[in-house]
Amino acid sequence: MGCDGTMQDRVGAGIERLEERFGSFPVNQTTLTVPEPDYETARERADAGAIDVYVRVYDDEGDALHLGDDRDCPVPRCVAGPDEPLAIAVARAVRRESGVEVSLDEVTRVTIAGVNNEADSDAPTVYRLIALLDATYVRGSVENAAWAPETPAVPEYV
């Protein structure tokens, strides 16, 4: 199913929000089919105009922050709603997940994800924005994370 006008407007507004803060960046598209509970979460977030944000953090030596092995994703992430400045939502998530404070540098890429319901092929496709940001370590003691020379992997749909 196609993207309706309201959903197109929300996706466009999310991209504009990122461009206002960071300038231009590449935009990819992908399609995901997920279990119904994940589809409902995606629909709720899309309706709210939220952006899923993944953050790669680097220190002055170029090492990257890797979250603990008990996490399902090796980088800090958050869901940034439209009513809160993105930098504040991201800074809070990075501090909560790793103990460090960061300065946001750039949007590496944005993915428009068409999310389909695995349990109901007739359910409309929901369109979500997923952003990958790079940030620089400012201060703080690393908790539940470690610095490593290799860049952490992010989910392939990011």
Q: Is the pLDDT of residue 1 over 70?
A: no
Q: Is the pLDDT of residue 18 over 90?
A: yes
Please compute the mean of the pLDDT values over residues 78-91 and round it to a whole number: 93
Q: Provide the 3-class DSSP secondary structure of residue 111.
A: strand
Selection from 30, 39, 8, 36 nearest residue 158 by Cα: 30
Residue recorded with tokens 């603990």: 68
23: phi > 0 → left, psi -120 to 50 → alpha, else beta; which? left
- pLDDT band at residue 4, thresholds of 50, 70 and 90? low
Domain extents for the chain?
5-148
Contact 74, 95 (CB under 8 A): no
Residue 72 tokens read as: 């399902």
106-149 pLDDT per residue, tens = 999 999 999 999 999 999 999 999 999 999 999 999 998 999 99
pTM: 0.91
- pLDDT band at residue 36, thresholds of 50, 70 and 90? very high
Give the pLDDT confidence score for residue 158 in this predicted structure.
Answer: 86
- pLDDT band at residue 5, thresholds of 50, 70 and 90? low
Please compute the mean of the pLDDT values over residues 82-94 and round it to a whole number: 93
DSSP assignments along 47-99, one per residue: HHT-EEEEEEEE-TTS-EEEE-TTSSSSS-EEEE-TTS-HHHHHHHHHHHHHS
Which residue has better confidence, 88 or 70?
Answer: 88
User: Is 3.90.79 the CATH classification of the domain at 5-148?
Assistant: yes
| Residue 15 CA to its chain's centroid (Å) | 12
- Gyration radius of the chain over CA positions: 16
